[in-house]
Amino acid sequence: MYGITRCPKCGYTQKTSPACGSCGQALNYSNPFGSPCRPESKPAPTRPAVAPASGQVKAPVPEKTPASDTTPSGELAFHGSGGSLFGIHIVNIFLTLLTLGVYYFWGKAKVRNYLFGQTEFAGDRFAYHGTGRELFTGFLKAAVIFGTISAVFKAAPFLPGGIGVKIAAMLLAYALLLTFIPMAMIGTRRYRLSRSSWRGIRFSFRGKTNAFIKLFLRGTLLSLFTFGIYYPFFLTRQYAFMTDGAYFGNRKFAFDGEGKGIFGVYMKALGLWMIWGILVGIAMPVATNFVRDFAIDWFGSKKMAVAVLIGSLIIATALVAVYLQSFLSARRQSYLWNHTTIDTARFQSTISFHPLFLLTLTNFFLLIVTLGFGWPWAAARKARFYMSNIRLEGAIDLQAVQQEAQAASPTGDALGGLLDVDVGFGPA
Amino acid sequence: MKSAWNAHYLDGKTAARRPATVELTPTGLEIKTEDGGTFRWAFREIRQTQGSYQGEPVRLERGREIPEAVVIADADFLTELHRRVPDLGMRFHNPARRRLRLHLTILAAVLAVGLSAAVYLWGIPAFASILTPFVPVAWEERLGNSVAEGFAPPDKRCGDPDRLKPIRQIVTTLTAPLSWQPYPLRVIVVNEPVLNAFALPGGTIVLYRRLLEKTDAPEELAGVLAHELQHVLKRHTTRAMLQQASSAVLIAAVTGDASGAMAYGLNSARLVGELRYSRQNEEEADVEGMKMILEAGIDPAGMIRFYERLKKEGPDLPEALGFLSTHPATGDRIEKLRAIARESGRRPVKLLPQLDWKEFRNFCKSS
């Protein structure tokens, strides 16, 4: 069940086991400070079991609570700049080249440290606690898993035996991939939350990996068999799982939305996409006539006219796609945020469609024009946009938020990087 | 001088922040919270995790896994810290060194650009050249054969082996001066109206029908074959694959977290980079091909004539777009061939004097 205990040496909270999963210290369940407790239960007024700090001189922790400390304002803000991020990035590139790639992981930790340190909630900055060393060992382990999957994929067509063997091998490879993707998603979230803190209190993720794998397989298959109709529901369930398992200290996040909340938006976007298809279908014959009758005079040759026609069609379609994508994304994210709560407080999103569209488009051109080297600016703009459009409404009694850090392995995060699944803090 | 700073103390146990003052002592910090707690932290126990950037509050942590922390908004604290305790070195960020850090960052940027350029210009080609000889010929053959099945399926191939005898003779003449070469060379003619020829790793050369029909003399075809033979002998495909793999690694090192549009932009950068390698290989095949022609005692004018015909046939990309081409501009290639051909003063032998070439070149259509 939910036996949770705290390791007296390193302070990590964990499921009942004879030793701390993080540092190996033996756990003593008769210890009144480390007694197992349910994380959902109201915080017991027990003193945390971290050994008293040696540097404390006078009575360290006040017995009476000071005037209730609640979040003064639920504003989020991002203070970072593209320039500083670029500076970090370019030094990372240099050291990565110099160390034949090894420094990459330390550089990644540095970038994350910067992004967290520049993000403020209610007057206090977030902090990132991951290290390059962790990311490096995580990568080595994840590379073995990833290598196994891709080896099965690559080897499948060359296996001796009939077509049956080959199909079986391919199915096995897909089954592996479909299992490892959700594992990596959970691993990423577990690791990243565990290494994030605000006001010294760690976030954590406590959802069960197996439950998510089941949810993911079921959702993928249902989405396939319903030709995507189920997808919005699948997405909402994933988000619900990711949110319901997330904690800030001993305080639980929760999600109270439903799939039908975003279903309408998906149908609308799909409908508009189909209308665009019909418009193109109508426009094509007209354009063909136009090419035959006039365009040759304008563009010099028929080839040129056709090239211009097809080129503009592709660009227009890409624009429509980005437009609809922004619409969908803004509505979906707002819905998901607005149904996310922690304790008695609720998130509120003002992410709206047109600003998001403009941001996506301008960032895209920024990256194309700079061959990707403009990403620090793009990332800073994106962070600024989201942080200024999300806030937390309602107060949390911060005095009552107790540290309940959880151990987490970096392997899942690294595997997530290799499989290209990205799990951020909120809805994407 | 200021000696106490306003701060917040975070005990790592609850999310409440406790207003405090931080005082500097010669060996560490004394943190006094408003509610009466006093903590002494020695400098050697303290890590600074935030506050290295303008506007970011200074965050000091003490303790391993779950630290206590103190956050000081005023960056002057660091300046004063370094002034009073000069031997703290790198443990704490020094705002006075921000200019130096900026200069080092710029230096790192310049070095990063230089290093990437050096890796691209010399590192990758050298790496590929060193590794290529270690790739077994058998691997190349297997790869070449499987590609040949796709590009030149047996039912599209022209002529029985007998009809291809003149082409085989040209190949034999060309390779005769070589002391040894490991490839079982063969030429396939594909019955398609395409003006192209290419070499596959492992010794297979594919000629399209229209290219053969465009040649006016066996010496012209010899020029094409010499070029393609050099692709085989210099193992250009293998080298290109090694170069591609290593530029992918270089790009990954330079970009770190590439995603979405960025990956797209970088892919085009990589492609442009690889096209340059491709043009280098083409140039080498031209130069070495022409040398092969001269070694074999064949008239070099044939090869040049055929390139000139190609130039008339398909105009090059505009010069400004040259970086998007797989081959160097045909005009430059002809110049280069002429320069090498001029050096030779030998009298050429006539290739296949008995054969009516104008009839032979059309054999594919009639078969």
Six token digits for residue A317: 């379609």
Residue A60 within a domain: no
pLDDT of residue B290: 92
| Interface check B327 vs A, CB under 8 A | no
Residues of B in Cβ contact (< 8 Å) with A403? 12-14, 66
Residue A27 within a domain: yes
- In a shared domain, residues B61 and B178: no
d(CA B219, CA B212): 12
Residue A347 within a domain: no
- In a shared domain, residues A145 and A212: yes
Six token digits for residue A30: 């008769």
Q: How confident is the model at residue A48 (pLDDT cuts 50, 70, 90)?
A: very low
Interface probe for B, chosen from A42, A91, A365, A421 (most Cβ of B below 10 Å), is: A91
Give Cα B126 to chain centroid, integer Å: 12
**Average pLDDT estimate for B267-290:** 85
**Average pLDDT estimate for A30-42:** 36
Residues of A in Cβ contact (< 8 Å) with B266? 371-372
Residues of B in Cβ contact (< 8 Å) with A90? 105, 108-109, 112
Q: Is the pLDDT of residue B296 over 70?
A: yes
d(CA A293, CA A357): 37
Mean of all residue pLDDT scores within chain B: 85
Q: Is the pLDDT of residue A81 over 80?
A: yes
Domain that holds residue A33: 1-38
Give bridge partners of residue A393 from the DSSP assignment: A346
Residue A4 within a domain: yes
How many H-runs (helices) and E-runs (strands) does chain A carry?
12, 12
Residue B280 within a domain: yes
- In a shared domain, residues B63 and B145: no
A324: DSSP letter: H
**Average pLDDT estimate for B217-236:** 92
Asked if B119 and A97 count as a contact pair (C-beta separation under 8 A), the reply is: yes
| Interface check A363 vs B, CB under 8 A | yes
Residue contacts between A and B (CB atoms, under 8 Å): 190
Residue of higher predicted confidence among A39 and A147:
A147
pLDDT of residue A58: 37
CB under 8 Å to A62, separation ≥6 — which residues? Answer: B35, B36, B37
pLDDT of residue A31: 36
Q: How confident is the model at residue A45 (pLDDT cuts 50, 70, 90)?
A: very low
Nearest to B63 by CA among A191, A48, A397, A401: A48
Interface probe for A, chosen from B8, B9, B14 (most Cβ of A below 10 Å), is: B14
Residue A47 within a domain: no
* Binding-face residues of A in 277-336 toward B, CB within 8 A: none
Domain count, chain A: 3
| Interface check A61 vs B, CB under 8 A | yes
Interchain pair A199, B11: CB under 8 A: no
Q: How confident is the model at residue A425 (pLDDT cuts 50, 70, 90)?
A: low
- In a shared domain, residues A250 and A147: yes
Interchain pair B66, A400: CB under 8 A: no
* Binding-face residues of B in 328-357 toward A, CB within 8 A: none
d(CA B237, CA B231): 7
pLDDT of residue A417: 75
pLDDT tens, B168-197? 999 999 998 888 888 889 899 988 888 888
Interchain pair B12, A59: CB under 8 A: no
pLDDT of residue B315: 62
| Interface check B180 vs A, CB under 8 A | no
**Average pLDDT estimate for A10-14:** 52
- In a shared domain, residues A188 and A137: yes
Interchain pair B53, A104: CB under 8 A: no
* Binding-face residues of A in 130-159 toward B, CB within 8 A: none
Interchain pair A371, B36: CB under 8 A: no
Give bridge partners of residue B61 from the DSSP assignment: B47, B69
- In a shared domain, residues A146 and A236: yes
Residue B191 within a domain: yes
Asked if B152 and B192 count as a contact pair (C-beta separation under 8 A), the reply is: no
Q: How confident is the model at residue A43 (pLDDT cuts 50, 70, 90)?
A: very low
- In a shared domain, residues B8 and B62: yes
Q: Within chain A, what is the greatest distance between any pair of CA atoms? A: 93
The amino acid at residue B57 is P
The amino acid at residue A192 is R
Q: How confident is the model at residue A166 (pLDDT cuts 50, 70, 90)?
A: confident
Choose among B37, B256, B269: nearest Cβ to A107.
B256
| Interface check A118 vs B, CB under 8 A | yes
Residue A183 within a domain: yes
Say if residue A272 is exposed, middle or buried (CB neighbours under 10 Å; 0-12, 13-18, 19+): middle
Domain that holds residue B50: 4-93
- In a shared domain, residues B83 and B134: no
What percent helix, strand, coil does chain A show, rounded to 5? 55, 10, 30
d(CA A246, CA A248): 7
Residue A231 within a domain: yes
- In a shared domain, residues A140 and A236: yes
pLDDT tens, A286-304? 877 777 777 666 666 666 7
Residue of higher predicted confidence among A25 and B165:
B165
Domain count, chain B: 2
Residue B262 within a domain: yes
Asked if B346 and B163 count as a contact pair (C-beta separation under 8 A), the reply is: no
Residue B324 within a domain: yes
Residue B189 within a domain: yes
d(CA B21, CA B160): 95
Interchain pair B65, A23: CB under 8 A: yes
- In a shared domain, residues B335 and B204: yes
**Average pLDDT estimate for A406-428:** 73
Q: Is the pLDDT of residue B2 over 90?
A: no
Q: Which residue has the tokens 């549009």?
A: B261
Residues of B in Cβ contact (< 8 Å) with A414? none
d(CA A259, CA B283): 60
The pairs formed by A312-316 with CB atoms below 8 angstroms and a separation of 24 or more are A313/A280
- In a shared domain, residues A253 and A220: yes
pLDDT tens, A221-272? 999 999 989 999 999 999 999 999 999 999 999 999 999 999 999 999 999 9
- In a shared domain, residues A138 and A235: yes
Q: Is the pLDDT of residue B161 over 80?
A: no
Six token digits for residue A217: 């397989």
B323: DSSP letter: G
Residues of A in Cβ contact (< 8 Å) with B10? 199-200
pLDDT of residue B257: 55
pLDDT of residue A28: 46
| Interface check B156 vs A, CB under 8 A | no
- In a shared domain, residues B87 and B134: no
| Interface check B48 vs A, CB under 8 A | no
pLDDT tens, B298-331? 889 999 999 988 888 766 556 666 666 778 888 8
- Does the interface ipTM go beyond 0.90? no
Interchain pair A375, B262: CB under 8 A: yes
* Sheet of B38-42, strand order: B38-42, B28-33, B18-24, B4-10, B68-72, B58-62, B46-50
DSSP per-residue string spanning B248-262: HHHHHHHHSS--THH
The pairs formed by A325-331 with CB atoms below 8 angstroms and a separation of 24 or more are A325/A360, A326/A353, A326/A356, A326/A357, A326/A360, A327/A265, A327/A269, A327/A353, A327/A357, A328/A265, A328/A266, A328/A269, A329/A356, A329/A428, A330/A356, A330/A357, A331/A262, A331/A265
Residue A111 within a domain: no
d(CA B367, CA B357): 16
Asked if A50 and B12 count as a contact pair (C-beta separation under 8 A), the reply is: yes
Q: Is the pLDDT of residue A4 over 50?
A: no
d(CA B84, CA A52): 30
Q: Is the pLDDT of residue A60 over 50?
A: no
Q: Among residues of chain B, what percentage have pLDDT more than 90?
A: 25
What distance in Å separates residue A166's CA from the closest CA in chain B?
Answer: 19
Six token digits for residue B348: 């050429």
Q: Which residue has the tokens 């900055």?
A: A125
pLDDT tens, B195-212? 888 898 888 899 888 888
Choose among B13, B53, B257: nearest Cβ to A50.
B13
pLDDT of residue A367: 80
Interchain pair B39, A12: CB under 8 A: no
- Domain final residue, candidates A320, A338, A356: A338
Least confident among A63-67, B61-65, B304-308: A63-67
- In a shared domain, residues A308 and A228: no
Mean of all residue pLDDT scores within chain A: 80
**Average pLDDT estimate for B337-357:** 80
pLDDT tens, A277-286? 999 888 888 8
Residue A148: helix, strand or coil by DSSP?
Answer: helix
- In a shared domain, residues B358 and B234: yes
**Average pLDDT estimate for A101-124:** 90
